[in-house]
Amino acid sequence: MNTAFATEAREATLKMTPHQKLLMEKRGKKIYLGHEQRKGWSGKLPFYLFWCEDCKQYAKDYPHGHIERRYLLCAHCGVYHNFVPWWVEFALFWQMIRNFFIPPSMRK
């Protein structure tokens, strides 16, 4: 359990509107909080606030993994939450179709 992220998530929920809370709890929306750079990090990363259905708490985290397998981790219970952008599956499907129908000699 990441207590720093859990505490920051509680603080961030105080600044949220009821509409944002409803979207997170009922529709699984992630709220962008901004970019942060922690001690020892080489750059800034985007942080998101989200609702964990498993432990029924708000959590704060940054995206982990490659774009096609991106996820957020709950700071309270450690459950992985899918965070793959909507267009990635479409792009992977289109690449598969292209590779299937276009001969290798015609690809650039």
Contacts of 63 (CB under 8 A, 6+ apart): 45, 46, 48, 70, 71, 72, 83
Decide if 51 contacts 85 (C-beta within 8 A).
no
For residue 104, pLDDT over 80 is answered with no
Range with lowest mean pLDDT among 7-11, 32-36, 57-61, 79-83:
7-11
**Mean pLDDT score, 83-103:** 82
* Domain around 101: 3-106
Decide if 47 contacts 33 (C-beta within 8 A).
yes
State pLDDT tens for residues 14-37.
Answer: 888 888 888 888 888 888 889 999
The number of folded domains in the chain is: 1
